[in-house]
Structure 1
Amino acid sequence: MTARIPVLAVVTSSGRRLRFFHGATYEPLGDLPVAAQPHEICADPGNGWMYVSHTYRSGVYAAPGTKAHEISVIDPHRRELADVIPLAPEEAPHGLALDAARGLLYVTVEAGPNGGGALVAIDTATRKPVRRIDVSARGPHWTAITPDGSKAYTASKEAPYVSVVDLERCLLVRRIPVPYGTEEITASPDGKWVYVAAAMIDFAGGDDDQSPATLAVVDTTCDEIVHQVPLPHPASPVHVTTDGLVLAGLVRFAEPGVPGPGLLNAYRHTATGRLELRLTAQVGRVPLTIRSTPAGDRGFVANLRSGTLDVIDLTAGTRLHTIDVDPGDPATVQGAHGIAYLT
């Protein structure tokens, strides 16, 4: 039997497709048209699938058109659409997190039949929603779950807190104050920490118009912020590699409303538990999603407004390769969004 090659998948929201690349050489493998608008991807290594959330039919978060309501199930090796999971009347699914041990895919939805945002659990075997948990926040966008599947954390951009959900009791149990809102959120591989890009980004403003930006560290034993790293620019994506390197994508503005080249910062915990900056790399305009290889040696950064994906050597902090995903007008294009890597 022929060995499977590693597959790197990137969605373009404006292009309404998934683009597939060889995970080691970055050669194009082909494209798959999908429904509008693909946003995030979650890899399911055990079953060999990728799940893609479709959030809007048109528009963006600040000015959405008609909201979408489905999850696409993708076979990345055949580059085929395997199934579509309908979530209506839930609206605008976005963030994805997989509990592989329990066979559950968690999805944030901006609104539903009761009006509020929620976390919806989908059974990956039956591909049907099995529970809904209100997170008491408008438009929850990203979510992270602890490795043991006991808790979920949702970030909601405009809400001045992170919602903490007890997944065993299906209950909102805490709100962690974050005064200026949040962008992406992620959990460490050992489950001790949750990292939050704190301060919602004002894309109509410039560098001087942003709220104070930090990378906030939550201790999951007490669900409180125990450390905050001041950032020179607001961060949108955060990601942790398998060996605990914390990656944050910083968004810079050339002038109000016009994004400039972004940065990737990498941090490690010191012996005292604080984060220390280890390297900085140049990336494209508006880094929006970060993922890494299972070995943690390479990082992948999707740049929304450049329409590119940068491959970063996470040891040296150098850019190894730039892939054109769907370039366009940097003021409007949504050319590179979710990323997944599957071996």
Structure 2
Amino acid sequence: MNQTPARRPVLAVVTSTGEAIRFFDGLNYEPLGVLPVAAQPHEIAVDHTADLLYVSHTYRSGVYTDPGEKAHEISIVDPFRRELVDVLPLAPEEAPHGLALDAGRGLLYVTVEVGPAGGGAVVVLDTASRRPVGRIEVGAHRPHWFAITPDGRKGYATSKADPFISVLDLTRGELAGRIPAPYGTEEVAVSPDGVHAYVAGMALHYDGGPAGRPPAALMVIDTGSDEVVRQVSLKAPGCPVHVAADGRVLVGLVATDAEGKSVDGQLSVHGSGGLEHHFDAPVGKVPITIRTTPDGARAFVANLYAGTLHVIDLNTGTVERELGIDPGDQGAHGIAYLV
């Protein structure tokens, strides 16, 4: 009697410059193939039930600080077949970036930098019909990353350019408040129990003016009160933030030399709540995305300027592998891991 071989995990990594998604075996990291997609793919949201990836395309060319023509698409990809399933045009909304999926309600939340109804917003897509069903103004300039609580009732949008984090009531579909963040913010992630949100508390491009840059810190937010309950000191400015299934908090530290040039960064691993520092592991230049395996045993760190992906053993703090993705200007970005 023939038996169907067990499905092996798949690791997917975006290359923005290369305009493609690269696929690897999720156990031995052997290359599986490359899927060309539209210009400048950025972030990935994973639908583990449907085995699909949602990929945002932010610009046709350029970067956040010097964008060219803005893009307006979400690509839907089958990672096991390595096929493009659909492309969702969001126009006249422009520059989608951050993604958060509420699989239970079948809703995909997408930050857009600008649209016809005003400035930055979160567009709500129905994953069944693949059509927009809502738009929530965030009151911020070019919102970037977005995360939702596990119950799907609340969302947090960060902005590099504004001195606050936008809090959204997703049930009412409206802006519910703002959390002060005077130096701008990078990525936000919510703990599996929904108690805390963690935010890299200073935009990478913040220069501080005459006073200089403030000390780098991770903001810990109580999601019940939407207040910052602690600031955890970091050795260098943080950019990507991710919470593993066991509650450990992972922050990518973006390091520079005395002349301000990018050098290899670090993955900083903290205990639940962010206070207890476990270890730092070496990664490449400008870590931009972090994801983990479902069991929280390994972390994957995409390094934007290095064009590489580091695989970190979270039990030992050692680097297992370094995968070449693309040496271009934005050589590695969004990550997905499916089993």
Could you give the per-residue CA deviations for residues 164-187 of structure 1, whole angstroms, max 9, x where no partner exists? 000000010110001100000000
Q: 1:112 aligns with which of 106, 110, 115?
A: 115
Distance 1:259-1:210 versus aligned 2 partners, 3 A rule: farther
Indicate yes or no: 2:311 matched with 1:311: yes
Q: Tell me the residue number matched to 2:162.
A: 159
Could you give the per-residue CA deviations for residues 195-230 of structure 1, whole angstroms, max 9, x where no partner exists? 00000113899xx96443110000001000001001
Distance 1:234-1:247 versus aligned 2 partners, 3 A rule: same
Q: Please list, as runs of the form range in 1=range in 2, the aligned pairs for 1:144-155 lying within 5 A after superposition.
A: 144-155=147-158
SS in 1 for 2:225: coil
SS in 2 for 1:275: coil
1:2 CA drift (Å): 3.3
Q: Tell me the residue number matched to 1:277.
A: 277
SS in 2 for 1:183: coil
Identity of aligned residues (%): 61
Q: 1:334 aligns with which of 326, 330, 336?
A: 330
Counterpart CA distance in 1 for 2:66 and 2:207 is 12
1:4 CA drift (Å): 1.9
Counterpart CA distance in 2 for 1:322 and 1:102 is 37
Q: Tell me the residue number matched to 1:294.
A: 294
**Please, what TM-score do these two structures have when normalized by structure 1?**
0.95
Q: 2:141 aligns with which of 138, 141, 147?
A: 138
1:5 CA drift (Å): 1.3
Contact 1:10/1:339 (<8 A) preserved: yes
Distance 1:33-1:288 versus aligned 2 partners, 3 A rule: same
Counterpart CA distance in 2 for 1:203 and 1:27 is 39
Counterpart CA distance in 2 for 1:132 and 1:23 is 36
Could you give the per-residue CA deviations for residues 127-177 of structure 1, whole angstroms, max 9, x where no partner exists? 111000000000000000000000000001111000000000001011000
Contact 2:198/2:219 (<8 A) preserved: yes
Distance 1:306-1:315 versus aligned 2 partners, 3 A rule: same
Contact 2:207/2:213 (<8 A) preserved: no
SS in 2 for 1:239: strand
Contact 1:8/1:341 (<8 A) preserved: yes
Distance 1:274-1:342 versus aligned 2 partners, 3 A rule: closer
AA paired with 1:292?
T
1:29 CA drift (Å): 0.2
Could you give the per-residue CA deviations for residues 90-115 of structure 1, whole angstroms, max 9, x where no partner exists? 00000001101000011000010023
Contact 2:242/2:249 (<8 A) preserved: yes
Counterpart CA distance in 2 for 1:204 and 1:53 is 28
Counterpart CA distance in 2 for 1:44 and 1:178 is 31
Distance 1:299-1:209 versus aligned 2 partners, 3 A rule: farther
Q: Tell me the residue number matched to 2:239.
A: 236
Listed as ranges, the gaps of 5+ residues in structure 1 are: none
Counterpart CA distance in 2 for 1:257 and 1:203 is 13
Distance 1:203-1:312 versus aligned 2 partners, 3 A rule: farther
Q: Please list, as runs of the form range in 1=range in 2, the aligned pairs for 1:33-44 lying within 5 A after superposition.
A: 33-44=36-47
Q: Please list, as runs of the form range in 1=range in 2, the aligned pairs for 1:168-317 lying within 5 A after superposition.
A: 168-202=171-205, 210-269=213-272, 275-317=275-317
Listed as ranges, the gaps of 5+ residues in structure 2 are: none
Could you give the per-residue CA deviations for residues 57-111 of structure 1, whole angstroms, max 9, x where no partner exists? 0000011000000100000001010000110000000000110100001100001
Distance 1:80-1:204 versus aligned 2 partners, 3 A rule: farther
Distance 1:204-1:7 versus aligned 2 partners, 3 A rule: farther
Distance 1:203-1:25 versus aligned 2 partners, 3 A rule: farther
1:231 CA drift (Å): 1.3
Q: Tell me the residue number matched to 2:129.
A: 126
Distance 1:81-1:274 versus aligned 2 partners, 3 A rule: closer
Contact 1:111/1:118 (<8 A) preserved: yes
AA paired with 2:139?
S
**Please, what TM-score do these two structures have when normalized by structure 2?**
0.96
Indicate yes or no: 2:33 matched with 1:25: no
Counterpart CA distance in 2 for 1:253 and 1:209 is 15
Counterpart CA distance in 1 for 2:259 and 2:179 is 31
